[in-house]
Amino acid sequence: MTNLEKMDEWYNLLREAKTSADRAKYYKKMVALYKVDKTLRNRWEFHPSAKLFIQRFRKRLISVSEMAKKKGFDDGIDYNVPACDGLYLIGETHFNPHTDEKFYWVKVGKATNLAERFRQYNTCNPMLFRIDFNTNGYNKEKFYHAKLAAICINKCNHNSEWFLVDRDTYLNICEKGFSYFA
């Protein structure tokens, strides 16, 4: 097991620890390893003055050395979408920074120009997950909304287009796109 894998494991054990003694034990292991292996600083931030043990270590999204090599953040999303009408299927994931509770949202929308609609989303969402698009189903938006309403945990409280689903459903929809609803 690499030191990076040990840090990941100990951090997870720290998060799940039921007693302060267990939290202290995993925290001390992480500190000792962090001090010895300087390469861990590329993947972990250490904030020793934070109040809680769990707040003292934060994992970086990408390493400092990787970040330095990149001019812009590469999110791995394919931005090629045709400039025609159709339906789009998008997803967003969010988390509560205090409780680490995760939220998985999906939306089906329609656009007269898919490429332009996705460009508009780029302004308000830096990592919109483009799941799928369908250039043949422009008039089926309500059909897909009904399908999502039947499987969702809840709907957004301030619009009728975003649906909260569980993690497994979200990942299945991301993998299968519109064919998930067939």
Task: Please report whether residue 74 resides in a domain.
Answer: no
Same domain? For 116 and 39 the reply is no
Looking at the domain assignment, is residue 8 inside a domain? yes
Do 175 and 116 belong together in one domain? yes
| Structure tokens given for 1 | 């097991």
Are both 60 and 145 inside the same structural domain? no
Sequential pLDDT tens for the chain (182 residues): 899 899 989 998 998 889 999 999 999 999 999 999 988 888 888 988 888 888 898 887 665 556 556 666 666 666 778 899 999 999 999 999 989 999 999 999 999 999 999 989 888 887 888 999 999 888 899 999 999 999 999 999 988 899 999 999 999 999 899 999 98
Provide the phi-psi class of 148: left if phi over 0, else alpha when psi is between -120 and 50, else beta: alpha
Q: Does one domain contain both 59 and 112?
A: no
Does 126 lie in the same domain as 167? yes
- Taking the C-alpha atoms of residue 95 and residue 103, their distance in angstroms, rounded to an integer, is 6
Statement to judge: residues 93 and 19 lie in one domain:
no
- Output the pLDDT for position 60: 75
pLDDT in tens, 144-160: 999 999 999 999 998 88
- If asked whether residues 47 and 111 sit together in one domain, one would say no
Report the domain count for the chain: 2
Q: Tell me, what's the pLDDT at 109? A: 95
Output the pLDDT for position 149: 96
Contact between residue 107 and residue 161 where contact means Cβ atoms under 8 Å apart: yes
> What is residue 72's predicted lDDT score, i.e. its pLDDT?
63
Rounded to two decimals, what is the model's pTM? 0.60
The residue segments making up the domain with residue 147 are: 86-181
- In this structure, is residue 148 part of a structural domain? yes
Q: Do 93 and 25 have their domain in common?
A: no
Q: Are residues 32 and 94 in the same domain?
A: no
Tell me, what's the pLDDT at 124?
86
So what's the pLDDT on residue 78?
67
3-state class (DSSP) for residue 99: coil
Same-domain check for residues 107 and 162: yes
Could you say which of 69, 97, 113 is where a domain stops? 69
